Structure 1
Amino acid sequence: MFDPTAFDNLKVVFEGAVYDLDLTGEIQILDRKDLFDFAHYERCYQIHYSLPYKKSISIEFHLKADMGHFLAERKMMTEKNMAGADILIVYKGDEKLHHCRSFLEETWNKDKNWEWKEVISSLQPTAYEGVLTFNRVITEEMVDDVLQMISFSVDTLQQLDRIDF
Structure 2
Amino acid sequence: MFDPTAFDNLKVIFEGAVYDLDLSGEIHILDRKDLFDFAHYERCYQIHYSLPYKESISIEFHLKADMGHFLAERKMMTEKNTAGADILIVYKGDEKLKDGRKLLEETWGKDKKWEWKEVISSLNPPACEGNLTFNRVITEEMVDDVLQMISFSVETLQQLDRIDF
TM-score, normalized by the shorter chain, greater than 0.5 = yes
Do structure 1's residue 25 and structure 2's residue 25 form an aligned pair? yes
Matches within 5 A, 1:53-92: 53-75=53-75, 82-92=82-92
Q: Which residue of 2 aligns with 1:127?
A: 127
Question: Which runs of no fewer than 5 residues in structure 1 stay unpaired?
Answer: none
Q: How far does residue 90 in structure 1 lie from its aligned partner after superposition?
A: 0.1
Q: Which residue of 2 aligns with 1:152?
A: 152
Q: Secondary structure at the match of 1:35?
A: strand
Amino acid at match of 1:152: F
Bigger drift between 72-81 and 93-102 goes to 72-81
**What's the CA shift string for 1:29-88, capped at 9, x where partnerless?**
000000000000000000000000210100000000000000000116666661000000
Identity %: 90
Q: Secondary structure at the match of 1:71?
A: helix
* TM-score for both structures, normalised by structure 2: 0.97
* TM-score for both structures, normalised by structure 1: 0.97
**What's the CA shift string for 1:119-165, capped at 9, x where partnerless?**
11100001000000000000000000000000000000001000001
**Between Structure 1 and Structure 2, how many residues are aligned?**
165
Structure 1 outlier segments of 4+, above 6 Å: none
Q: Is the 8 A contact 1:68 1:81 kept in 2?
A: no
Q: Secondary structure at the match of 1:92?
A: strand
Distance in 2 (alpha carbons) for counterparts of 1:78 and 1:133: 24
